[in-house]
Each structure stands twice: as C-alpha cells, then as structure tokens.
Structure 1
Amino acid sequence: MLQPLFAIVSIALLAAPAGQITPALGPQPGTKRTKLIERHERFFLDELEVSIDGVDLGARFAQLDFLLDNKLELAVTDTYRAVSKDRVSTVARRFDELRLTTQQSLSARSLSVPLETEIRGSSPLQGRTVVFDRLANGSLDVHLEEGTQASGSLEREEWAHGLQADLDFTAFLPPTPIEKGDRWKVDPAGLTSVFVPGGDLQFRPDPDSVTTSGGAVSLDAASLENILEAFEGTVDALFESVVERSGERVARFQLELRIESGRDLSGRGDVFRPVFPDSVGFEPATLTARYRFEGSGLLEWNLDLRVLERLEIKGEGTVSIAQTGLITTGGLEQELKQDLSLSGPQTLSVVCGRD
C-alpha cells in the first residue's frame, strides 16, 4: 500500500516543483466577488494642424489650449455560478454603480473666458443583473436576470453584443507554470477589455447634469470606447513574489506595456464634429483615430481562490485623430483637413473583495 502511495506523491511533486505556481481562473461555484474599477485619463492638446484647400491655418491655433478629462467608475458584484474544466462557464454580474464624467476645457487668446463643459453619463444597466453563459460551442449567451428591476428602458439589441464578461483580466496570466523571477510575453490582442472594462456599458448623457460656460467641443472620437479594437505592441510580465494576505496566497506580477490600437471612424460624424458657426456647413469625409499607451502595472492574483485580487496600471496615453471633409460657406465648397493629437497621464485601478 505504501509503494503506490509513494509513487503518487512522487509524480505530484514532479508535476509541481517547489516554488512553482500555475495561476488560473477557477473559483468555487457560488463564489461572490465585488470589483471596484476606476479609469481616469487627462488628455492635453499636443498638436493641431488645420488646412483649407491646402492653405495651412496652424498659426491661428498656436495659442489654443484644450483639456479632456474622462473618469469612469464602475462597481459590480460577480457571482461565479458554474465552473468547468478550469474556466468559468456562468457568471452573474450585478451592476451596483456606473458613473462616467467628462470634462472639457478650451481656452484661446481670442476667447474672453474659457469654454468649459461637464457631462455626466448614466447607464440603464444600473441596478440590473446580467448573466453570461459560455455555451458548449464557445459562444457567449448574454441575458438579463429574470426579475431584475431598474429604471429606464433597455432593449436587448442595444447592449447584449457589446458587454464583456471578463473582469478578471486573464489575458495577463502566464500560459505555463512559472517560478519567481520568470518572465513571459502577454498577447496584447486580448487587452481591449482591460482599457474598456465591462465593454460597452451603454452610457448616455444625463441632460440634467450637463453644465457649460459658452459652448461644447464634440470630441467623442477621443473616447477609448470608440477607438479600441485589438491591440498591437508588446506586454512583458514578471513573476515578482508570493505574499500571504488574510491567510491566502497572493501572487504579484509586474507589467510593462507598450501598446496601440486604432479604428476607421469614417461615417461616424457623430463622434467628432468641428465647431463652426451656424452659417458654415460641414460634411465629413474620412475620420481615423489611434490610441497609444506606454506604462507599467501590478497585478495580484489570489492563488487559493483562483481569482483576481487587484490590478493597477499607470502611464502615458496618446490619442491621434485625422479628419477630412468639406465645409460650405455661401455656396462655396472647400476641403478641410485637420490632425489632432492629445496626450496625458492615464490610470486604471481594479480592487476586488468579498461580497
């Protein structure tokens, strides 16, 4: 009896050498986790180039200052209802709080006072529970929990396809077992859900919350929700250590990110429209936006609960927008070209806990 037992123990030790870990998502069914997520960016105007029919008008904008300040706050409670083969097949997400605040400030020598705008967004997902079911064929079924009560209308076709189930950000995890000091490459294509946590949360401007002093600048093309597709670039991860916290083992991973993504927004004149007098018409032709980020981060993974513990990312973000179109004044059509670049500090914080 002892010999077979010794053989089993020996095999187990060979499969998992001392000091080696295999972080993976696999909480016990019924596990509940609260997640407080905050993303904040302050983008300042770096460069603005404008030309009409090939005539450079850049000098007119030399004294222009612009600030775009976005803050996303999200609080959810995830209940992992079904787990199979080391992956979550069903998770129910209660949206406890959703807030999006956008502030814009435009100042120039020609303006007696800055043009300042603040818009707060609300979402009809507030207070609702959404269930994500991973089907046998790998597809995701997304539906509202029966009996969920919340104010405001929410039609399925508006939101179901845009939500993201992964708020544990498993794309950062290593593909193989690792030891302290090991490094690995993270596929950047899977990080869109990190910078747009939860996906399209159906934020809508709250008319009662809009405050302005003189005007507004339409710059939704600088919103990451509108720009991001699959990331390109490099993401490096380092296994730093394992610490004990409240009797549980927590692995710490250092992150270095140099990534970018972009999208052709032609035909989406609603996301970026220059501000002209009423007497000037504008017909957009092409519109492209690109986002770059360079920074560092720390990810903490609970090895005993097999879930995310904490994620912190900070660095410098840059948004570049290029647009062409036709402006019409008094029956005269002229070609407008403009290139806009914004950059500034950006942070992302995810803190998890028990419900």
Structure 2
Amino acid sequence: MLPPSLLLLIPLLTALPRQVLAARQSENGTCYLPGYYNPQTHAFTDGCDAQTYCGTPPGPEYPGYGVADTYICRTRGCRKDEYPFGYGQENDTIPDMCPSGQICPDNMAGCEEQVPVGSPCRLARDDECQPPSNADELRSSLNVDGAICLNQQCYYSDVVVGDTCIVENINYITFLAGVMVSDIRSKDNCRTGGYCDGTSRVCVATVAIGASCDADKKCDTYNCGPSGVCVPPADSADSPASWVYAVVGVGIVLVIFGTLTGLYFIHRRSREEYQVKLEQYYTEQVAYRESLFSLSHTRDSLLSLPKNTHPDVARQSLLVPSQPYSDEASNQFQGGRSPRDHRDGDYNSK
C-alpha cells in the first residue's frame, strides 16, 4: 500500500502535459519539467531522451532563452554508469564519468561535489555523501565507502549494536501477473553485523544462516529465504558435500570403463564377422582353383588323344581323379597362402 503522500501525487502526474509522459524529447526539444521522481518506481524522469537532460536554455541562440519557466533538452555532461543506456557504439559521443570526490546527479547535467555528513542528498544516492576517514572499516555492500543517504540526508554507517539509529523504508511498486505488489527496502546507518529495528530505532545484531527471519536486513547474509530462514547470499557459490564429489568421480570411472568395454565387444564382434567373410572368400577361391585344374586336365586329355578316337574311349580318358589338385590346394591354403597367391602362382607356372 502506498503512503498517502505518494497517492496524492498520482492524480497530479496524470495531469502533466502529454508530451512529457508519452514522448521523450531529443536535444533542443521543449520539456516542461526540470525533473521528478516516479512515486511508484522512484525512477528519475525529466521528459528528455537518454542522451539529454531538461534544463534552462544556456544562451540566446537556444529557443526559449530568457523566458520564465521554459526548459529545453540539453546534452548530458556526465554519466553514472560505465556502459550508459541509450548510446551507440560508434557515432555517439559518450560523456565522461566524474572523478573521485564528485558525483553525477540523476539528471546527468554535470559533475557535482560530494556533500558532507548532515547535508541533503537525493533518494538512494549514497555516493553523494563524503566518505568518513575510516571508510575501509565501515564499507559494506549496504553503503558507499561507509556513507549512506537516509531520508534524504547524509550519515555514516557507524552506529554500533545497542545505540540509537536512523532507518529508511523505501516502498517500490512492481506488478506480478497483473497484480500490484509492494516491495519495501529498508536502509539504516548501523555497522556491519547489525540492523536498525523499525520499532525501537536501536541497532540489533543480525542472525546467522539457519536462524528465523522476516526481513533481509535481519540476516548476516542479507537474504531471508521464502521459508522465513536466513539463507546464503543469492550470489554465493554452491559448495557440494564431499559425497557428491565421490559419486561424480565413481560415475566418471564407470562411464569410462563402460565405454571401453563396449568398444571392446563391438570390435571383437566386427573381427569375428570379418573372419567368417574371409574364410568364405578363401573357400570360394579354392573351389575356383580346383575347377580350373579340372578344366585344364580335360583339355590336356582331349588334346593328347589321336585323331579318329572313338567317343567312348575319349570319355574313358577323362575319368581321372582330381584329388591331387585338391590336396595340393588344401595344403597351400593351410600353409597360409592367400587365394591371390594361388592364382598368381598357377598362372605364372603356365
């Protein structure tokens, strides 16, 4: 639920000129506000595009110069981020970041000096406050160099547990499945290891992982889980238990062993199939060789007969056993010679 003061601003914002709410002007375009903060998102808006800010015309050559309440979009003089939004990679001129001791304001008009403790500061701009002398001791992820902006005023994050503290609760509005949800972020000026209790306004020690909680600020890790228990930081690395490493190691060994075993059986099966094919090939070659020997014997027998030999005599001469040829081929095959060796030897001998 929004505070009543912010709810009163919503009707006023809806009455702003359409140009400010709907369109963003480029350089020298007319803008109607020097800037305001969205009451829901707290984002700064001034009606200008990502490369300009809304300000008064700097000279007579600019439109609206000297006219009261007239503002135009001017080129930004600094940037807050290393890689600012809205700029190209080649043609756009990107403004410089501010040096140490200076900050770039939300409208990015130009660098400004940091302000001392007790001075006013902008919403969520801890970097606008000058750091303390013991910045290394007070520095944490919840402040900037030990300084913090609370309720638009600069403080040091140096209050110890048990002392009075300052707290600021910022209400952000987001939408989940079309439903408006309030997200409250709490900041305080307690040292690391403590948080400011919203009721007593006294710094209380934070609790360790596993303790019950109802807000992130109450945990050492600044992360209260959905179950109401402090959990490790969201950006922390997971540390598996020792048995996980053992299981993973055994699994890797089993996978390697299984792969090698499978390859062995596949290769053995392939060799057996190839051996069968090779034996069949040798058997066929031996059979072809015996057939050639038989044909050669038949030809020699017929050619050796005299002319006018009776057919019955010719047939009788062919009834000669071919076993010697078969025995010779078998002996050669058993001796390790290949069918190609048989063939080459036979034909070379003829």
- Larger-gyration structure (1/2): 2
| Structure in which a larger fraction of residues adopt helix | 2
Same fold by TM-score greater than 0.5? no
| Structure in which a larger fraction of residues adopt strand | 1
TM-score band, normalised by shorter chain: under 0.3
Q: TM-score, normalised by structure 1?
A: 0.22
- Which structure has more relative contact order (CA 8 Å, sep 6+)? It is 1
